[in-house]
C-alpha cells in the first residue's frame, strides 16, 4: 500500500503532493507509467478505472489502487476477466459486438498498414471469435460468455 501511495504521489505535481489522498492524477501522467506506456489498451484502461465525473479519465488514489489490484498476480481470474471485458467493450454497452472485436483486433495487431488485417481476414477472424464464444448465437459476446472462454484459457 505504501509503495502504491509513493508511486501515485510521484505522478502528481510537487505542489499537490500534500493532498495526495484527494488529488487526481491526469490521464497523461498515468500513461507515462512504464507498465502502461507500451500497452495497446492504455487509454481504455484509464477510462475503465477512472471515476472522474468530468470524463477526463484522471485517477484518484482509490482508482489507482483498484487498477493495481486487478493487475496484481493475486487478483482472481473472475476479477481479471471482468475488467478485461470492460476494457474490450469499447462502446461501453455491456457486450462485445463486431465493432468492439474489430477495435480489439486492431489494438492487438497494431494499426500500421503493414500489420493491419485485410477486410476479409478481419471478417474471418471475427467470425471465428464469435463461433467460439457466442454461446447464445445473438451476434455478441456478453460477460458470462467471455468469462466462459477465459476459464478455458489457463494463460489468461
Residue 55 — left, alpha, or beta (φ > 0 → left; ψ -120 to 50 → alpha)? left
Q: What pLDDT was estimated at residue 155? A: 77
Q: Where are the alpha helices (DSSP H) in the chain?
A: 2-10, 27-30, 34-37, 42-49, 61-71, 77-88, 98-109, 119-133, 143-151
Q: What pLDDT was estimated at residue 115? A: 74
pLDDT tens digits, residue range 10-56? 999 888 888 888 899 999 999 999 999 999 999 999 999 999 999 99
Listed in sequence order, the residues at least 6 apart from 21 whose beta carbon sits closer than 8 Å to its beta carbon are 61
**Mean per-residue pLDDT over the chain, rounded:** 94
Q: What pLDDT was estimated at residue 106? A: 93
Q: Is the pLDDT of residue 1 over 70?
A: yes
Cα gap 37→4, rounded to integer Å: 18
pLDDT tens digits, residue range 76-95? 999 999 999 999 999 999 99
Going along the chain from its start, the domains and CATH numbers come out as: 1-71 (1.10.238.10), 77-152 (1.10.238.10)
Which triple of cell numbers denotes residue 80?
481479471
Q: What pLDDT was estimated at residue 18? A: 87
Q: Could you give the percent of the chain with pLDDT greater than 90?
A: 84
Q: What pLDDT was estimated at residue 12? A: 93
State the burial class of residue 89 (Cβ atoms within 10 Å of its Cβ: 0-12, 13-18, 19+): buried
Q: What pLDDT was estimated at residue 75? A: 96
Q: What pLDDT was estimated at residue 112? A: 67
Amino acid at each position: 500500500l505504501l509503495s502504491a501511495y509513493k508511486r501515485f504521489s510521484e505522478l502528481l505535481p510537487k505542489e499537490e503532493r500534500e493532498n495526495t489522498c484527494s488529488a487526481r492524477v491526469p490521464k497523461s501522467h498515468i500513461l507515462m507509467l512504464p507498465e502502461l506506456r507500451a500497452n495497446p489498451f492504455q487509454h481504455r484502461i484509464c477510462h475503465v478505472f477512472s471515476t472522474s465525473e468530468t470524463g477526463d479519465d484522471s485517477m484518484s488514489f482509490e482508482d489507482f489502487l483498484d487498477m493495481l489490484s486487478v493487475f496484481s498476480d493475486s487478483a482472481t481470474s473472475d476479477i481479471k476477466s471482468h475488467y478485461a471485458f470492460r476494457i474490450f467493450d469499447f462502446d461501453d454497452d455491456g457486450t462485445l459486438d463486431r465493432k468492439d472485436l474489430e477495435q480489439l483486433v486492431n489494438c492487438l495487431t497494431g494499426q500500421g498498414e503493414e500489420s493491419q488485417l485485410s477486410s476479409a481476414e478481419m471478417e474471418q477472424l471475427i467470425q471465428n471469435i464469435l463461433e467460439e464464444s457466442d454461446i447464445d448465437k445473438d451476434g455478441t459476446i456478453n460477460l458470462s460468455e467471455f468469462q466462459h472462454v477465459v476459464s478455458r484459457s489457463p494463460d489468461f
